[in-house]
Amino acid sequence: MSFASNVDNPVNVDRNVSSPARERGHARLHVPAQKRHAAPETQSCLKHTQKRPLRLRVATSGEVPLTEPENARAKARCLQHGFCLRCCVRRGIESCVICLTGRYLKGIILITGRGETIMWARFKPLTNKIADRLGNGRDLAGAAVETVVEQPEEVEPHLPPIFLPDQLGKATQGSPGHQALEAEIAQATRTELVHTAVLRHTLENCLVHPAGIDFAGGSFRIHPLKLLPLATSRIERVPRALYCMSGVSHTFFGHWLQDACPTALLQKEGEALLLTNPPAWQHAGQYVQAFGFRPQLRHLLYVDQLTVYEDHGQGSSKRRRYAELRRRLEVAYPGSSQGGSRVYFRRGATGIARLIANEDAVIDSLKARGFEVFDLLGASAQDIINRFRHADFVVSVDGSHLNHLYFTMQSGAKMMTFVPANRFTMNQVGYCTAAGLRYGFMVAEPAAAGYVVSIPEMNATLDLMGI
């Protein structure tokens, strides 16, 4: 929308607002009582404004932020054209979005009535979508009222994984939700690892729903938003909460266990824990109970102050939390089951299908080297933790089921995986390094019934790894 009319009376900006508030783009607006040339609808709107002052937030487009006089003129234009918040709210609109179009487009203004935010918070996804279409959407860092570095970026020397010289040339495609193929291949040969910083973002006035979160001027999605539940479900208010999920931790069990659960340990006193517990993942609920988590699962939440972490690296902060989760599992699942130290961990048809077409031949060859077979299907989290607690060498196809092992295998043990050529990922490199495991791999090529493992290449890789 474009507004071109003149403003008869300026809007005064109250400069008694605290300095931090002005830094975040807030200003308290007082509209003069007399508007001699205002339309009848505008006069009615001004009465609403006098009774309940409006709060102005500017979401800049990344270039030059709007000055307070420009904010005032845009606000007055909004009132001149009858876009009163109180009137709009009665028609089911949360915010009046003004687009300052033209050559000097600088941002959008979201005007929200005080005391009515919760009632109309369900419209945040709509206004955020408009802001995004106009190129004025904000990310977590841009919307945060505070960002704290919990752990700076860390770099450590690294011993690359063990593999045969021709393996990287067989990779044809990266794994969905992970890095591009070129980046994954580069990860296989790096001699140092860079662990990204752990950042804590504090957001205000957020709508939390099954698809993610919506905040002022932006959103964070873990999957597409369904509009009907958003429009009909009751919104519950929570003063403070910690949001643990990401797109990959919502999609893959391994990332849920390896990323979301360690993030849950960053919960501060008074914060509600927002951690999903998908029933489709049979082990998720068992881990939630063993870790002692008490997530508050609701369909729609309005959170006054929401904490969201960028917590993807495998640095010192994450490793301390891994050690704490391991300790809790030792308390919840004491002891260990009987079995040899060399184990083939059979994934089977669980999760995303990664069947080994010639698995019988693979198992026969491994048994000749002293390996035993452990089936994921039907095993509880306690069964897995106890069986692999003293395993020295594990072989398996790549997948989320391997993340069980990082909370039970001892430092110095070894792991070799069959990585599908069309889902190539070096995701296990960082995890094995954090757990103190020596990692090796070979590439399995696609076949009609899954993936084929070259027995000679498997044995040659095992020889390189000292088995």
**Residue 109 half-sphere exposure, CB side, CA atoms within 13 Å?**
29
Sequence ranges of the domains in the chain: 12-116, 154-193+334-464, 196-332
In what helix (H) or strand (E) does residue 68 lie, and over which residues does it extend?
A: helix 68-80
CA dihedral sign, ordered 266, 268, 274, 276: positive
CATH number of 154-193+334-464: 3.40.50
Q: Is pLDDT at 399 greater than 80 in this prediction?
A: yes
Whole-angstrom distance, CA of residue 154 vs CA of residue 314: 9
Q: How does pLDDT run across 17-52, given as a tens digit for each residue?
A: 333 333 333 333 333 333 333 333 333 344 344 433
Query: Phi and psi dihedrals of 3, rounded to 5?
Result: -120, 130
**Lowest mean pLDDT, pick from 102-111, 114-123, 424-433:** 102-111
Reported as a pLDDT band with limits 50, 70 and 90, residue 71 is low
Whole-angstrom distance, CA of residue 363 vs CA of residue 447: 18
- Residues paired with residue 149 on neighbouring β-strands, in sequence order: 199
Phi-psi region of 446 (alpha: psi -120 to 50; beta: other; left: phi over 0): beta
The closest of 290, 277, 388 to 341, measured between CA atoms, is 388
**Residue 206 half-sphere exposure, CB side, CA atoms within 13 Å?**
30
pTM > 0.75: no
- Residues paired with residue 157 on neighbouring β-strands, in sequence order: 192
What letter represents residue 216's amino acid? A
Which two tokens mark 75? Answer: 């606000």
Whole-angstrom distance, CA of residue 236 vs CA of residue 300: 6
Residue of 277 and 32 predicted with greater confidence: 277
Whole-angstrom distance, CA of residue 363 vs CA of residue 360: 5
